[in-house]
Chain A
């Protein structure tokens, strides 16, 4: 006996005859019903008894049934609703990490730019301070807090010997308001760093333990999500960020391959000898890759164990 088919899509649950005519349908009012389609399929099964799942050729004919203008509004409405829902649900911690890490990177760029300007500007008034205080953050916070005289006293320079000119009050305050903005940017940066740390404690504690908070964030930012990072071979993770060099090598083997990408800045690599760079980078990428996979599948915390193995192997503390 030719059997009937059961087919469910976002419009509803349908029973088709062997000639592909719909004999019964339960239309879904919203996406919630579509997500619980099992209930409605069971209802139809109870009523019609033996219902077959359509195979390739049958499916084609059934889908042809829906190629009809009268199903437009349904397809449009339901697909829009479902897509909007999935976009809403697609937000996760990874995206916060990506955005926060991106924000920190951009704040860093801005800070460099603005602090350079501040140094130039403030040096008209007090060039000795810019010369003595090399650290950007310290510089902008100190000049905001202390007067020219206090600063010069600290450097044991007589105010008369200073080669800066005496500026009017309003000119000085113009300079200092830039310093105040820079200081608040530093505070914002510190806040975001803290926020990243909290996020990573939840999302990728192992990766953060091995690479550090900032670098773990950078890797996730680069790949877009922890999932993609976990799916990557360790050797890819090793050269993430050095794509230009890698592809130069792949196109023409005369160019040597890169040893590392983003993980270059890691202390373990920085502290090791030059001839060991490649080895260390490879081992580090291996452990980071293991960590990323454990994190993605929400495994136990093994970050400290992996870190200890690295330290013992290369005899370098970090």
Chain B
């Protein structure tokens, strides 16, 4: 039985412990996710093991800050697994700018998400603010999941350039891509310090057991 969860636009099946979003393009799968229909509404299952945002929800976060009709800047879209669910959440009146710099994954993303009219694929490095500026507008929420050593710098740069005032942003930190030799906890603490200088941290959670050595920060623009 699928019912509303605590998070807006996200649904859950408490008995089976599964998360769902409403399929924006009924009948179409994006990756190999199961589709479930209930009361003529089609839901797409959202697996916390393959999506960090779902892992955050599964770890009982209070809010993911992405709402219906929002404009979202998604940095590090990869093949579009999580992007498709973000696109479900914002709905047909919201908009997602999906940014990635690898042509190979962007090719898959285009095939996966072309049917959704609310997602614009952008092949560009998240680090190139000036090039991005010509392709996007100010957004309500930024979600970043890129495995770069300077991911926090990139995050802050994008927040100051593209996030609206008092907007929220989510940062998935992969400890291993910052430094493999040190303990993840230590790295997360450093990231926290770096973030605190420029933004207000509103939530911090590790994504165990779904994603190893990952943490998610939610921040608010000052």
Contact = CB atoms under 8 A, between A and B. Distances in A.
A318 interface: no
Contact of A67 (B93, B118, B137): B137
Interface residues of A, number: 29
Q: Which of B117, B121, B139, B164 has the most CB of A within 10 A?
A: B121
Interface string A58-91: 0110011111110110011011101110110010
Contacts of B136: 63, 75
B133 A59 contact: yes
Interface residues of B, number: 28
A131 B114 CA distance: 58
Contact of B135 (A60, A79, A84): A79
Contacts of A68: 137
A76 B137 contact: no
A284 interface: no
Given A250-B180, A250-B181, A83 B138 contact: no
Nearest to B179: A250
B137 A10 contact: no
B137 A83 contact: no
Q: Which of A66, A75, A79, A251 has the most CB of B within 10 A?
A: A79
B71 interface: yes
B25 to A, nearest CB: 14
A79 B120 contact: yes
A9 interface: yes
Interface string A8-21: 11100000000000
A301 to B, nearest CB: 30
* Interface majority SS (helix, strand, loop, mixed), chain A: helix
Nearest to B163: A60
Q: Which of B71, B93, B117, B138 has the most CB of A within 10 A?
A: B138
B185 interface: no
Interface stretch (B10-18, B50-58, B102-110): B102-110
Interface string B120-139: 11110000000001111111
A60 B106 contact: no
Given A76-B120, A86-B123, A64 B138 contact: yes
B93 A66 contact: no
Contacts of B95: 69, 72, 75
Given A80-B121, A83-B110, A247-B180, A90 B103 contact: yes
Nearest to A247: B180
B20 interface: no
A153 to B, nearest CB: 55
B139 to A, nearest CB: 7
B134 A10 contact: yes
Contacts of A8: 134
